[in-house]
């Protein structure tokens, strides 16, 4: 296993000790399920905001936790949980818009995608993974405009993203 800078862990090998909710052999590192789900937590809300929870308001069927300013705009950390309690999606809002790194997870904890936003628009390289990381693809965005998409099963060219 290895602990990443963000505090999460990735493991490989086999058996239930791998920590991803299966007993399958893993040749590539997979996300370890956290015993304590991440949360936006009321004590982590920025000053002048209130802690909120609620039903899904996007494409995922998750229950969300976020901090909200008096004008109704989200501010700070957002965490959505699957009905089994694991993290489905996490990221940050600034003035009601997605900002920085957002991560989306399968219900068993393995990562689906890592996406970056600037002022609410897709920006930079987005990476999406299949279940058990059998394949992945990357898409480059420049302030909301898709520049290119790379599918590692069909295109191994090296590319840069503005």
Instruction: Identify the pLDDT of residue 62.
Output: 82
Is the confidence at residue 69, as pLDDT, over 80? yes
State the pLDDT confidence band at 36, using cuts at 50, 70 and 90: very low
Split at pLDDT 50, 70, 90, the class of 35 is very low
Q: Given its phi and psi angles, is residue 107 left (phi above 0), alpha (psi -120 to 50 degrees) or beta?
A: alpha
Torsion of CA 84, 80, 132, 8, to 10 degrees: -100
Winning range, highest mean pLDDT, from 17-26, 91-100, 149-158:
91-100
pLDDT band at 55 (very low <50, low <70, confident <90, very high): confident
pTM, to two decimals = 0.71
| Cα separation, 26 vs 119, whole angstroms | 37
Distance CA 74, CA 144 (A): 20
Please report the DSSP string for 111-138 in residue order: EEEEEEEETTEE-EEEEEE-GGGS-EEE
User: Average of pLDDT values for 45-49?
Assistant: 91
C-alpha–C-alpha distance, residues 159 and 146, integer Å? 14
Percent of the chain exceeding pLDDT 70 equals: 69
pLDDT (0 to 100) of residue 142: 95
pLDDT of residue 18: 60
Residue 131 tokens, joined: 């279940």
Question: Can you give the pLDDT at residue 150?
Answer: 83
Query: Phi/psi at 92 (nearest 5 deg)?
Result: -130, 150
Q: Is 71 helix (H, G, I), strand (E, B) or coil?
A: coil
Ordered DSSP codes for 18-71:
GSSSS---EEEEEEPPPSS-----GGGSPTT-EEEEES--SSS--EEEEEE-TT
pLDDT exceeds cutoff 90 at 104 = yes
Q: How many CB atoms lie within 10 A of CB 33?
A: 19
């Amino acid at each position: 296993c290895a602990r990443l800078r963000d505090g999460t862990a990735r493991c490989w090998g086999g058996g239930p000790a791998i920590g991803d909710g299966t007993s399958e052999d893993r040749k590539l590192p997979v996300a370890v399920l956290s015993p304590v789900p991440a949360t936006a937590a009321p004590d982590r809300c920025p000053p002048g905001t209130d802690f909120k929870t609620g039903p899904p308001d996007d494409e995922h069927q998750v229950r969300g936790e976020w901090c909200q300013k008096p004008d109704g705009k989200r501010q700070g950390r957002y965490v959505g949980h699957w009905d089994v309690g694991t993290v489905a999606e996490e990221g940050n809002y600034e003035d009601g818009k997605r900002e920085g790194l957002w991560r989306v997870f399968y219900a068993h904890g393995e990562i689906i995608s890592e996406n970056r936003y600037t002022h609410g628009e897709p920006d930079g390289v987005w990476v999406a993974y299949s279940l058990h990381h059998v394949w992945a693809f990357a898409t480059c965005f420049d302030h909301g405009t898709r520049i290119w998409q790379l599918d590692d099963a069909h295109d191994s060219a090296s590319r840069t993203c503005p």
